[in-house]
Each structure stands twice: as structure tokens, then as C-alpha cells.
Amino acid sequence: MSSADGRVFTRRPSVVGHRGLGRGEVDGHRENTLDSLLAAVAAGVDWVELDVTRSADGVLVVHHNPSTTDGRFLVDRTVAELAAEGVATLDDVLDALPTDVALDLDLKSVLDDATRDPGAGTVGRFARTLRRESGRRRLLVTSFDAAALLWLQQDVPDPAYGLLTWLDFPLRIGVPMAAHLGMSVVGLHHQSFGPNPSEPGPVHAAMQDSVAVAHQAGLQVLAWCPGPQEVAVLLDAGVDAVCVNEVPQMLPLVRSLAER
């Protein structure tokens, strides 16, 4: 669901709380828990991001990694077993979050789904949730899985969709790909905007030029996981949103930089 003018992020820069207050544990709140998400909302973020995957019995749950800390995969464990370790179902989280909270739902790929039709796997289950939620709240659906995004976009067109690209992934590929897939947002790791360990050489267009091309193509640009040293440069380049860890520290920094 976008604004009347088609924008997903109506405030520039919008601040998205990564997995709630941030990766890992922040201020005593574990990532991807209702407590962490609500704490991020209370802190004043514009959006909260959470990760979606599934259990062995086909229930959508809120968790980032494909396995728990003991190395056991979520798709091999029932939702009851996962609940005993504090992994919440997506339905429970959505029911508990106020509908005025804007949500970035990051759909994770599940290896086992490669042998299934998309409608019979995680993507199909997620589509049912999107149909229910898309009229209730502002939603952005993001994923590294372009095929899943296209399937969902055709099946449930109402939410906004955004393509995520991996660490150090070149903007010269990510921006055109997101535009040609019909996305509203391209989500780029902060190291993708310039020289990085994968591509240190002189192959990157100026950061401002790359962001400008994305805007010309009708995309909004989300930079994910910048730290205090990177965020000012990204804001100067014109990104529309930043998805941040350590919300209590990063949110006031982003707000102060935006007021310069």
C-alpha cells in the first residue's frame, strides 16, 4: 500500500527499524520479537521490518535465519517447538501490532520450496496473509527472491514491493533489475553504493548519479544496515529510506542529519 502519489516512503529519509530495534539484542529486546517491534515504534521509527519464513507444519513465523541457534532448521520443526524457543507466528505479531504501524515484511527463501509450486510453499501461504492485511495497514513486501516477488505481485497486487540485493551487489545491476521487475523500491546494502571488498576498483558511478537514475526509473531507494559512519553520505546522495540497527542510537542521528 502506497501513498496517494505512489510513494512508499512519504518522509525523506524514512527510518526503518531492522528486525525491530535492530539485529541481535538491543536494549534487552531480541530481534524479530513483538517487544522489539513495539519498542522501535515507541522510539519513533517510520517503519518496522520483520522477517518471514515457515515451520515444518507450514505456519509462517517471524525469524531471520533458516535455523535456530542450535543449528536445527525451522522447516524441520513444528510451530509448537519453535514457540517454546520464543519464535512468534506471523499472525500473532500482526494481530498484536497496531494497524497504523507501517510494516516491511521481508520474505525469506526456503530451500525446500525449490521442489514445490510457489503456491504450495511459503510464498503461497504468505499470499493469503497479504490478502488479509493489505487493506488494513501500510505494507511493503521485500525479498532477495525476485521470482517470489513477481508471483506475489501478480497474485496480490495491492501491497508495495521491493527487491533486495545482496552485500556489495552493484547498483548498475540492482537498479535496472528492480525497475524492469516493476518494483516500487530497490533495497541496497550500504556497501553497494561505492567501492567495497568485492569491487574496490573504479567501476562505480557516482553515488548521487546512481540514486538519481533510480528515481528517474520510478524507484525509491532503501539503504540497509548503514552505520553512523556511512549514513550521512547516503542521505547526501538522496536515498529515500534507511533500514538501521541500534535504533536508539541511529534514529536521532538520522533525524539530526536530515535537518542540516
Burial class (CB in 10 A: 0-12, 13-18, 19+), 86: exposed
Q: Has residue 9 been placed in a domain?
A: no
pLDDT at 2 over 60: no
Give the pLDDT confidence of 171-219 residue by residue, as tens digits: 999 999 999 999 999 999 999 999 999 999 899 999 999 999 999 999 9
- Establish if 78 belongs to a structural domain: yes
Q: Is residue 86 part of a domain?
A: yes
CB 7 within 8 A of CB 220: yes
Phi-psi region for residue 235, left (φ > 0), alpha (ψ -120 to 50) or beta? alpha
pLDDT score, position 3: 56
Secondary structure (3-state) at 139: strand
| 6: three-class secondary structure by DSSP | coil
Across the range 142-171, mean pLDDT stands at 97
Q: Considering Cα of 120, then 121, then 124, then 128, what sign does the dihedral take?
A: positive
- Residues 64-101 pLDDT 10s: 999 999 999 999 999 999 999 999 999 999 999 999 99
Domain annotation covers residue 203: yes
Query: Where residue 86 sits, what CATH number does that domain have?
Result: 3.20.20.190
* Residue 178 domain boundaries: 14-258
What percent of the chain lies above the pLDDT cut of 90? 95
DSSP state of 79: H
How many domains is the chain partitioned into structurally?
1
Alpha-carbon distance of 167 to 184, in angstroms, equals 20
Cα–Cα separations (whole angstroms), residue 72 to 56, 81, 137: 12, 11, 34
Cα dihedral across residues 8, 18, 240, 180: positive or negative: negative
Query: Rounded mean pLDDT of the chain?
Result: 96
pLDDT at 1: 53
User: Could you tell me if residue 8 is inside a domain?
Assistant: no
The answer to whether position 161 is within a domain reads yes
pTM: 0.96
The answer as to whether 6 is a domain residue is no
Residue 35 is assigned to a structural domain of this protein: yes
What is the reported pLDDT for 260? Answer: 81
